[in-house]
């Protein structure tokens, strides 16, 4: 195994972006031929509007992160955040550890983790949206952060070597995947023996209506792909994780539809077996 904890970097390909335009612009059928394309479009647009979003009140970072945490971030990193929790705030990252963030966006959780692991530690952000990676790398330059890298990749096929990471974090991203079992298999693959994950995600307490699950708009808002919590926990256990612990379980708010009452903001910790 290489001594470089960051592994191999994949250059950003600007042509890999799904499509251009404002987040509110019409998306054609051809552009929505997959959930992945829809997610790339949405989060690419969020990256472009990060500065505008930073000036909004009651944004996700205002609700989920402490004032001290927000004070060490760029406005653009805060504005690009679309999470449902604060996994790094309770992940207990230790000095010298290697941390990997799935769906790192503008880099908010990476930059906070970087301060926790210190100069002897490493943080790797994985995102499939080139515009988000460009924003994250710009934010890293502004913050003069030297122990973080951002890599282009999908959470179903993480560009990281086996047994190379101490801690995996993720913030409202696995709900966007159509292959959640594969995501958890990838997480356990890259974790060192005894390593752990701390993940915030959207789940439900009962199955969603079919029309919600088939809606691209609900998918990109981390709703349409939300799994039933019991199934989600079963996936984690069946992958081979142990000491599974629910750290946060609170109702998700927003919207008046009856089915929205089943939405849950979940933060979960689990460990890869040590032996």
CA-wise closest residue to 76 among 131, 128, 24: 131
Helix axes 35-48, 130-143, angle to 10 degrees: 30
pLDDT for res 168: 97
In DSSP terms, 66 is beta-bridged to none
pLDDT in tens, the chain (275 residues): 344 444 443 333 333 332 233 333 333 344 344 666 666 666 666 656 655 655 565 556 666 666 777 676 666 666 555 566 778 777 889 999 999 999 998 888 899 999 999 999 999 999 988 888 898 999 899 989 999 999 999 999 999 999 999 999 999 899 988 899 999 999 999 999 999 999 999 999 999 998 888 877 787 777 888 999 999 999 999 999 999 999 999 888 776 788 888 999 999 999 999 98
pLDDT tens column, 42-90:
666 665 665 565 556 555 666 666 677 767 666 666 655 556 677 877 7
Backbone φ, ψ for residue 255 (5° rounding): 90, 150
The C-alpha atoms of residue 60 and residue 78 are separated, in whole angstroms, by 8
Q: Which CATH number is 28-271 given? A: 3.40.50.150
User: Phi/psi at 130 (nearest 5 deg)?
Assistant: -55, -40
């Amino acid at each position: 195994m290489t001594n470089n904890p960051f592994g191999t970097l994949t250059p950003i390909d600007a042509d890999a972006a799904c499509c251009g335009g404002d987040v509110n612009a019409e998306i054609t059928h051809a552009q929505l031929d997959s959930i992945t394309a829809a997610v790339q479009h949405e989060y690419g647009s969020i990256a472009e509007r990060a500065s505008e979003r930073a000036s909004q009140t009651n944004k996700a970072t205002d609700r989920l992160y402490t004032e001290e945490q927000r004070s060490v971030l760029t406005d653009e990193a805060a504005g690009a955040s679309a999470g449902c929790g604060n996994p790094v705030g309770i992940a207990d990252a230790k000095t010298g550890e290697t941390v990997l963030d799935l769906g790192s966006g503008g880099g908010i959780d990476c930059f906070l983790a970087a301060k926790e692991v210190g100069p002897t530690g490493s943080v790797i952000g994985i995102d499939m949206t080139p515009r988000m990676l460009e924003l994250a790398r710009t934010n890293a330059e502004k913050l003069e952060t030297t122990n973080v890298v951002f890599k282009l990749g999908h959470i179903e096929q993480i560009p990281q070597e086996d047994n190379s990471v101490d801690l995996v974090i993720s913030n409202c991203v696995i709900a966007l995947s159509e292959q959640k079992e594969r995501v958890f298999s990838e997480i356990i693959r890259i974790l060192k023996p005894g390593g752990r994950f701390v993940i915030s995600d959207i789940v439900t307490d009962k199955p969603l209506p079919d029309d919600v699950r088939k809606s691209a708009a609900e998918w990109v808002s981390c709703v349409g792909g939300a799994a039933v919590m019991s199934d989600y926990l079963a996936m984690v256990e069946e992958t081979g994780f142990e000491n599974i612990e629910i750290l946060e379980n609170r109702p998700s708010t927003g919207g008046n539809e009856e089915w929205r009452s089943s939405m849950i903001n979940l933060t979960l910790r689990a460990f890869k077996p040590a032996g």
